[in-house]
Structure 1
């Protein structure tokens, strides 16, 4: 340690070092002990003041730091509020968009439903229009439709040939057409029917047709009636005496003959129209119009014949029930003839009442067959077949009922006449006419 170099401390100013805050620098132990207590206190106060300043600085720094931290929290809270506000706004927008989409979907669905409804309405309207056409066509019976078509065709051909306007037709055209028809028809009534067909055509096309009430047209028909005086030819009536002559030419043990004989007797005693007994053809048989086996009810000595459709019963508004009674011991008995026919030619409930076997198959008797059989049998009795037709049975039945003193009202009801037109079918015998004169002579 003796060799350690001595520290050169000469020239150092310790007092000045103490002034720089180095404690006890430049003071000796003796000076330290002799220091004044007041100065010591002062030094302590200064030291405490420095300490308090330092503590205040620290507190200020801490306060600033805390304030900064609070400000940073406030900034963070503001951002959070902004984010929340944006989120809420976005949710509101999404909700609004969702509602808008739902509204659009509902509008589209409503529009589609409306279109479907309109389409369905259009289809229903088309169907209604088709139904109107069907119902309109059903206004006329099949025979009336055929007559109208013939009348329309004749009028159109006439107008085309003479280059005349047919829709609407003027009065001059109608008068010329009536005069043209008079060349072919003997009866003015036939001319009226054809002109009425022209009227129906105009009305169906929604055109007026006032010509029938015209004085010129009425004057023309009156003149044609005078020029073309005509007595219509009616089929002669068939009487019970003629029936007795006819039956001699039938083999009632033959299935076909017994069917025709029953048909003849039904036509006579029922005074029926041919359309209620037989169809025009096999394919045109209608069980609602022509008589069937199931509509003839036999109870003991009485048979009830039911017609659901006739010329006067077009819409099924009523049923015509006509009785037939048994005539014991007579070949003219309609009930016995029906029972015999059913035993010889059995048929089902819905089968036509009058059927014949053809190629091992039952077929209905048609109007043409009815007419041919009648004329062939009439010819065999020595009479002119051109003077008789199926209508002869209806006229003969009414005439026989009248000569049997059946009241006129009952004859009209039995024969299903809607008016007194049946009286023109009655054929008065000379005996009846003589009885009228004799009754008058009694009071002279």
Structure 2
């Protein structure tokens, strides 16, 4: 960093295989050592100054008598000069408020074609590679959703004794949309299903009946007549503190308590989607979730507790290609919900073997989305909160709401939550 002779010491465990290189912003300094399998510890030689960052900050203003001009807690943003790297700080003390056509098989191991191979073997390798590339063109969850659309259409046809014709006749599609409407599916779900059927037709070289004028008008009418309110409530800081305090009463061990406390703190302070820190299922090997080697604890020289956590979001909804995004979480005054101290305590007792995912049970098995939601629901029931209003996404909603309540600029909230559009505005929900 220019103008600052800061030194960092990285203590890390090495791994036998190198981690895939992710393009890093200019301000991120990677070491020449192999990427660690365990959390990395960094020690800073001296304190970071405001001049070091060159970024907008909310600073406590002092009167001549030394008293603070602002009393309530604040959120301080340390925005990096380049994209892909953000520091989020919830600080205290001062601030502002037949064959199934279109189905893609599992990808084979990539290999070079041998000129000595016969033609049939060579074509088989090319087919496998083409399928691998096709599968990688979309997220696995999107493929699964599109497959659900095909199954839903199949169920509809069986129920009404319609022939399983492909490509799908226009009349079938019209009745299918009407059927989904009577089933009270949300407009967004129906549009996703129709997109899945559209994808099937295009993959197989057929004309796309979903682009017919009648279909577009049906979907428009569906959206206009089926407006639904998003009733998910924000998990704000007071609610988060209650949830974390109640975990010891619903978890089976002290380790599980620290595990889910860390999960909930990170979900809030890092504006995370639950899929960014949990596995979809027990057998999920996609490695989309934050891994233990994606986390660094940063210490100041001479201090025994970290003051910052560096978190690499490997893949997200807006980053399907896996370019990665760096987040820096700062210490929070309330140690009961501080994300930095939470990660620090959890890593001290985390099993060093098993899944490379950051959040794992004591036996090394990854935490799944279902388990995250289940523990959250049980905890909310324990504190007598309305579990129907709080979901896993409530942490992200709560973080945006809390930031807005403290006067954080909208562009900064958008940066923290990694939103690319104005969708972040729907996450800011003040109680009436």
Q: Distance in 1 between matches of 2:236 and 2:266?
A: 13
Distance 1:221 1:293, change over 3 A: closer
Q: Distance in 1 between matches of 2:119 and 2:275?
A: 42
Q: Distance in 1 between matches of 2:230 and 2:332?
A: 33
Distance 1:329 1:205, change over 3 A: closer
Distance 1:151 1:186, change over 3 A: closer
How many residue pairs end up in the alignment? 308
In the other structure, the counterpart of 1:335 is 340
SS of residue in 2 equivalent to 1:398: helix
**1:326, distance to aligned residue in structure 2 (A):** 0.7
Question: 1:294 touches 1:350 (CA, 8 Å); kept in 2?
Answer: no
Matched, 1:235 2:232: yes
Question: 1:293 touches 1:347 (CA, 8 Å); kept in 2?
Answer: no
Distance 1:315 1:389, change over 3 A: same
What does the per-residue CA deviation read over 1:60-94, in whole Å, with 9 as the maximum and x for residues that have no partner? xxxxxxxxxxxxxxxxxxxxxxxxxxxxxxxxxxx
1:401-416 matches, within 5 Å, as 401-416=403-418
SS of residue in 1 equivalent to 2:424: helix
Q: Distance in 2 between matches of 1:249 and 1:117?
A: 64
Where do 5+ consecutive residues of structure 2 fail to align? 1-113, 300-306
What does the per-residue CA deviation read over 1:375-405, in whole Å, with 9 as the maximum and x for residues that have no partner? 1111122111122111111111111122222
Q: Distance in 1 between matches of 2:357 and 2:431?
A: 36
**1:283, distance to aligned residue in structure 2 (A):** 2.3
Where do 5+ consecutive residues of structure 1 fail to align? 1-115, 431-444
Q: Distance in 1 between matches of 2:410 and 2:388?
A: 29
Matched, 1:321 2:326: yes
In the other structure, the counterpart of 1:156 is 154
In the other structure, the counterpart of 2:244 is 247
1:19-30 matches, within 5 Å, as none
Distance 1:353 1:147, change over 3 A: same
Q: Distance in 1 between matches of 2:387 and 2:379?
A: 8
Q: Distance in 1 between matches of 2:354 and 2:282?
A: 17
Q: Distance in 2 between matches of 1:428 and 1:222?
A: 30
Q: Distance in 2 between matches of 1:343 and 1:233?
A: 39
Which has the higher relative contact order, 1 or 2, with Cα contacts under 8 A spaced 6 or more apart? Answer: 2
Corresponding residue to 2:361 among 356, 381, 385: 356
Distance 1:349 1:411, change over 3 A: farther
**1:148, distance to aligned residue in structure 2 (A):** 1.0
Q: Which of the pair is proportionally richer in strand?
A: 2
Question: 1:156 touches 1:166 (CA, 8 Å); kept in 2?
Answer: no
1:124-139 matches, within 5 Å, as 124-139=122-137
SS of residue in 1 equivalent to 2:312: strand
Distance 1:408 1:220, change over 3 A: same
**1:122, distance to aligned residue in structure 2 (A):** 4.4
**1:349, distance to aligned residue in structure 2 (A):** 10
